[in-house]
A = this chain, B = another copy of it.
Amino acid sequence: MGANLRRSMSSLNKKFPRLLPEPIRKGMKVADLIDASFKAYNGGRLAEACRLFTQKMIAGNGTVGMSLTGALTPAGLGRAAIVPLMKAGFVDWIISTGANLYHDLHYGLGMKLFAGSPFLNDVDLRRDGVIRIYDVLFDYDVLLDTDAFVRKAIQGPEFQHTMATDEFHYLLGKYVYEREKKLGIEQTSVLSAAYEYGVPIFTSSPGDSSIGMNVAAMALRDSKLFIDVNRDVNQTAAIVYAAKSSGSTSSVFILGGGSPKNFILQTEPQIQEVLGIAEKGHDYFIQVTDARPDTGGLSGATPGEAVSWGKVDPEKLPDTVVCYADTTIALPILTAYALATHGPRKQKRLYDRRDEMVKKLAREYRKVRERA
């Protein structure tokens, strides 16, 4: 080649914006910094995620589901970012690991966590009764006291039946909310805020965390509390179906990956492939993760791959962003950006409509089966 490529005239300027950031100045606000200087690589992706979230996902009253994995609440991001997002009406429903909800309890119960270091000697820590989550430290008593709180709460009569995790977390959140009030603290716990704002919180692995462990221990006594996994599967699909069938949008905001990522995405195959109801897939997709596509897990699977499964609407593939970054960096930034550039929305209180939504889905499924 050589000669024939020379002096070609491309039309780049018609398709893409020029990349010429402004110099960073003293005293910039977060949104200005993002828009001015985050232009390429994962910095560029983070800026795109900020704009996709603000300009499309929460615009027009679309329904936003968020999935939580990784040590977000231990890192203080429940209080710093997730609660403010719920309060602003920017997150309508949540799938979380059990661990994020269990450690959220420490905050809601006024217990103390400490900003430590990842380089401590764990044998010493074990001897001294100190628990470590990477660089977050707390006393072993925090576990024991939180366990005791859970065991006491779930002995209440309202817990003595089989229920889905959104109901379980709502009931538990009420106890946390009341404890917060009593302690004079507020806006500290995701579970408490979810109760207050009617945000349904599910977990895809109900036995996998100290909450589930305590529920299981009580079942060795005489507890009647059992989790209805089937209802979780159908309830989450019902939330997505309610949004889509009403002409609104359904968006997923995925922090990390893991089982919650699959659980939030499988709502669409549940509707289409299993229940046989015509649907097209989620509209908008943001994932913040360190998991690359090649490493074998769904955590790193791309929105493109999700299109092949019908999880994401093929026509909306351009409206998907994967940002490879630590959520402890990306989530505060996106939260600050969204709060700065979009006014609060009225909370949807999807929890209040849970029976109605799942009935609608069941009705539609019956229709499909009768047609078949």
Are the C-beta atoms of A217 and B365 separated by less than 8 Å? Answer: yes
Mask for A329-343, Cβ within 8 A of B = 1, else 0?
110110110011000
Chain A 274-298 interface 0/1 with B at a Cβ cutoff of 8 Å (1 = within): 1111111000000000111111111
Chain A residues with a Cβ closer than 8 Å to the other chain, count: 162
Q: Which residues of B contact A263 (CB under 8 A)?
A: 205, 207-208
How far, in angstroms, from A256 to B314 measured CA to CA in the complex? 29
Across the interface, do A40 and B210 meet the contact criterion of CB distance under 8 Å?
Answer: no
Given contacts A30-B29, A40-B71, A130-B10, contact A293 B118 (CB under 8 A): yes
Q: Which residue of B lies closest to A343 (CB)?
A: B26
Query: Which B residues lie within 8 Å of A19 (CB)?
Result: 75-76, 113-115, 136
A230 touches B234 (CB 8 A): no
Which chain B positions have C-beta within 8 A of A132? 305, 308-309
Segment with Cβ contacts to B, from A41-49, A55-63, A174-182: A41-49
- Given contacts A229-B207, A332-B33, A114 and B17 within 8 Å (CB-CB): yes
CA distance A218 to B67 in the complex (A): 26
Give chain B nearest CB distance to A367 CB in angstroms.
12
Within 8 Å of chain B (Cβ to Cβ): is A243?
Answer: no
Instruction: Tell yes or no: A352 within 8 A of B by CB.
Output: no
* Nearest chain B CB to A219 CB, angstrom units: 4
B230 in contact with A296 (CB, 8 Å): no
Contacts of A294 in B (CB 8 A): 41-42, 45, 118, 134, 324, 326
Q: Is A152 an interface residue (CB 8 A)?
A: no
Q: Which residue on chain B has the smallest CB distance to residue A292?
A: B292
List residues of chain B with CB within 8 A of the CB of A361. Answer: 220
Q: Is the CB of A80 within 8 A of B258?
A: no
> Does residue A131 face the partner (Cβ distance < 8 Å to B)?
yes
B335 lies within 8 A of A24 (CB): yes
Contact of A141 among B7, B43, B229, B297 (CB under 8 A): B7
Known: A274-B214, A339-B24. A16 touches B99 (CB 8 A): no
Give the residue among A17, A39, A123 with the most B Cβ atoms within 10 A: A39
**Is A295 a contact partner of B326 (Cβ separation < 8 A)?**
yes
A183 to B161, CA, bound (A): 44
> Which one, B99, B274, B336, contacts A262 given CB within 8 A?
B99
Q: Could you tell me the distance in whole angstroms from the C-beta of A220 to the nearest C-beta in chain B? A: 5
Bound complex: CA of A80 vs CA of B138, how far in Å?
A: 40
B217 touches A229 (CB 8 A): no
A250: Cβ under 8 A from any B Cβ: no
Q: Are B332 and A16 in contact (CB under 8 A)?
A: no
Known: A112-B18, A115-B17, A308-B122. A12 touches B130 (CB 8 A): yes
**Which residue of B75, B230, B272 is within 8 Å of A39 (Cβ)?**
B75
A196 within 8 A of B: no
A77 within 8 A of B: yes
A305 interface neighbour in B15, B33, B122, B266, Cβ under 8 Å = B122
C-alpha gap A26/B344 in the complex (Å)? 10
Interface residues of A in 86-136 (CB under 8 A from B): 97, 99, 107, 112-118, 122-123, 125-136
